[in-house]
Amino acid sequence: MDYVYAPGKNHLFVPGPVNIPEPVLRAMNRNNEDYRSPAIPAMTKTLLEDVKKIFKSTAGTTFLIPTTGTGAWESALTNTLSPGDRIVSFLIGQFSLLWIDQQQRLNFNVDVVESDWGQGANLDVLESKLASDGAHTIKAICIVHNETATGVTNDLSKVRFLLDKYKHPALLLVDGVSSICALDFRMDEWGVDVALTGSQKALSLPTGIGIICASPKALEASKTSKSVKVFFDWKDYLKFYKLGTYWPYTPSIQLLYGLRAALDLLFEEGLDNVIARHSRLGKATRLAVEAWGLKNCTQKEEWFSDTVTAVLVPSYIDSSEIVRRAWKRYNLSLGLGLNKVAGKVFRIGHLGNLNELQLLGCLAGVEMILKDVGYPVKLGSGVAAASAYLQNNIPLIPSRI
């Protein structure tokens, strides 16, 4: 894809990284500091407590690791499991595929449950496996809460229901990279043992912090884990927590200040209001897709994601051309179709610090691009459907009056 200068601001509508709000940018615009000074440990202590709120956990222990979501995956696995441990893991799209690849390369015994791309995790198969596992050979269930490749969200409460139904002690490890701070997530209520996210998603920060919340059960499991780990070892963090210095190695000072500002924005709006906002924007996007006469890659309404919509295109259109043209002509960044859905879908990300007018601008841009590539869209149809819904569903407590 050749680089061309495009005037105006880049309109970033991929499902992460996302737009960074101005208060967060300003908070990060600072010099380096000594992380061993009193100031950084004091801020870190409040961050570790406040970040638990985005997981809706009071019992969990949090870790802020200078890494991406991939590093957070590895941390969750290596701190709670040992090589050869049996894992049930669900393959429903590109990111669940990558996590499974990591699990296999770390020498776990991965029992893969695969679904068609566009479907959620097959929980009937999980129930069968749990029912037949009287010896409790399954040590963990690994599931991606929100699969961004296909726009599928899984129901974690049903996974917990099945574990409880069969009184199974397996750990529940959840990738919440593109869901936490945007979708309903209840770590303690759903009995999630390790949940993780990345700073560049709904928190609306730059990439660089893997955020992990571990239950007391997960911390207990970490005491007997035999997996090799160094950089991601929770024991090192816990040691420095007790010392009150918090960091076993150098953190990104600027990202910590950015995280402070991002959390303050979330709490000012109210986490439940943030989740409701994402629900509205997700619904509006799906209505626009319907008005265009196109279909959602996600095959059932129960799996619809409120952070990303994967749009199927007709067979005579290469969805990669839509993404290329969006960037080159309109300075609009949309998500490519990945792996099995490459060329078949394009993705509209609608997560993070985002409002209605920004989304409507994106949808107007998509309509122009569809027209450009020869799809017979009626200009304004998707925007009209989305704006009518948004106008009729104004939040009861707007963020500004």
Q: Which residues make up each annotated binding site?
A: 347
Sheet holding 61-65, edge to edge: 61-65, 210-214, 194-198, 171-175, 138-144, 86-91, 109-114
Residue 191: CB partners within 8 Å, gap ≥ 6?
Answer: 160, 163, 164, 172, 215
Which positions make up the binding site for substrate?
A: 347
The tokens for 341 are 């859905």
The tokens for 60 are 């969990």
The tokens for 273 are 């209001």
Residue 30: CB partners within 8 Å, gap ≥ 6?
Answer: 253, 254, 257
Collapsing DSSP to helix, strand or coil, 397 comes out as: coil
CB of 339 within 8 A of CB of 97? yes
CB of 313 within 8 A of CB of 344? yes
Instruction: Please identify which residue in the block is written with the tokens 């949309």.
Output: 334
Residue 55: CB partners within 8 Å, gap ≥ 6?
Answer: 62, 176, 180, 185, 187, 192, 195, 213
